Copies of this chain bind each other. A is one copy, B any other.
Amino acid sequence: MPPPVARISQISKYEGQEVELRGWLYGKRSSGKLHFLQVRDGSGVIQAVVFKNEVPTEMFARADHILQESSIVVRGTVRADKRSPLGFELGVNHVEVVHEAKDYPITPKEHGVAYLMEKRHLWLRSARQNVILRVRHTVEKAIRDFFDEDGFTLVDAPIFTPAACEGTSTLFEVPYFDLGKAYLTQSGQLYMEAAAMALGKVYCFGPTFRAEKSKTRRHLTEFWMVEPEVAFMDLEEDMTLAERFICSIVQRVLDKHEREIREVLERDTSKLQTVKPPFPRMTYGEAIERLNKAGHPSKWGDDFGGDEETVLASQFDRPVIVHRYPADLKAFYFKRDPADPRVALGMDVLAPEGFGEIIGGGQREDDFDALLGRIEEHKLPVEAFEWYLDLRKYGSVPHAGFGLGVERTVSWLCGLHHVRETIPFARMMERITP
């Protein structure tokens, strides 16, 4: 009877037993009577030790010539091994090649990023990319678990939308049968507002699109965003929700991946350990003062870019929340502060270490006349927003929410300079392949 097939991530359950592993050869070194095969199966990497005296002569000779990334089946006994990061190694009694990988195009030598992006379908196999992808999975799961456990209902927002939230210049257009054009969504927020009136607490989580002609390290044309929206919630509660939410994601990622992030990605994880509530909160006005004091001349009415965000965030050991921006800088749907109508009841959460804005949100305008006036001021087509105005016509309530971008969050947690590595197949202005 063949031994049970095990996954490397579960290997501790098989200590002392014989197992079969199915995977690929990640690396190899030999020393006369021993071959050390690094075997990966997607769930982890294990060292498989082939001892000359324990396998047939031909098999031992063959094992010395298996090429990188060949698919292999290995059988042997699971042994505790304190020196390995995994804690176990495999004492091999059988190794066979399923399919030989000749001239695998990604070698241990350094490759340029353009080359690696072109080979993204293979680059995913590297240890570094593997960790990033699994952190992304954990972030996405932490996001869903947070909202699911807090009584939210997942409501998928549509991707095809008839009208623009904030102008059409950064929208992707799609010819749509006899209806003219549809636009790819930039945010599900408006739909979540309708859903919050139906279900109380809702969130959407899906891809969003931005046709920006920018080639910066923070731009993707296609990225994933989660957007909670809650009826009867105000700005203060919104900030507290965002704070709890971010802390739960960071904690989950540390619990599952702290060692990998530190050792494989070489990111200083002590900078993540300090991410605990409460986050510092400041008004936009206070932020302007801070910028000036920090030698970064700014005046009321200036919008914040990456530089301002970095100066502000670098003053703290955890994310900082800036709220009550000038209304003119914000979208039409923000509620104005009754205490100061110049400002909008919006807030941004800025990640530390220069990773910039990861959350934007706030309280929505819930008064019909005020919202209608805002739509007209912004010269938006009122008829396209009639359904949205309906929410202020029939049982309007205070409500708020926010959006968090997955790629920027993963980029911050993994300490990555460019967001292109945080998504399996990045789409940018100059790239839609592979």
Contacts and interface: CB of A to CB of B under 8 A. Distances in A.
B130 A198 contact: yes
A98 B394 contact: no
A191 B427 CA distance: 14
A350 interface: no
Interface in A166-217: 172-179, 182, 184, 191, 194-202, 206-207, 209, 211, 213
Nearest to A155: B424
Closest 3 CB pairs of A and B: A42-B200, A387-B434, A124-B198
A77 interface: no
B124 A195 contact: yes
Nearest to A431: B179
A430 B177 contact: yes
A221 B391 contact: no
A124 B194 contact: yes
30 contacts: A7-B200, A22-B397, A25-B395, A41-B231, A42-B197, A43-B151, A43-B199, A69-B394, A70-B395, A98-B395, A98-B396, A100-B395, A101-B394, A121-B388, A124-B194, A124-B195, A134-B153, A137-B155, A141-B148, A144-B144, A156-B224, A159-B427, A160-B432, A161-B432, A162-B434, A172-B175, A173-B175, A174-B174, A174-B184, A178-B430
A193 B129 CA distance: 16
Contacts of A176: 172, 432
A156 B424 contact: yes
Interface string A59-72: 00000000001110
A191 B424 contact: yes
Contacts of A207: 156, 159, 206-207
A385 B62 CA distance: 32
Q: Which residue among A9, A10, A160, A182 has the maximum number of chain B CB atoms within 10 Å of its CB?
A: A160
A355 interface: no
Given A24-B395, A148-B141, A432 B182 contact: yes
Contact of A160 (B42, B133, B162, B221): B221
Given A102-B394, A162-B432, A172-B175, 16 more contacts: A22-B232, A43-B199, A99-B366, A99-B397, A121-B388, A122-B194, A122-B390, A124-B195, A124-B197, A125-B197, A133-B153, A133-B199, A137-B154, A160-B221, A160-B432, A207-B207
A182 B178 CA distance: 20
B177 A174 contact: no
A433 interface: yes
B427 A158 contact: yes
A388 B125 CA distance: 15
A226 interface: no
A234 interface: no
A104 interface: yes
A23 interface: yes
A336 to B, nearest CB: 18
Interface in A396-423: 396-397, 423
Contacts of A239: none
A425 interface: yes
Contacts of A162: 432-434
A157 interface: yes
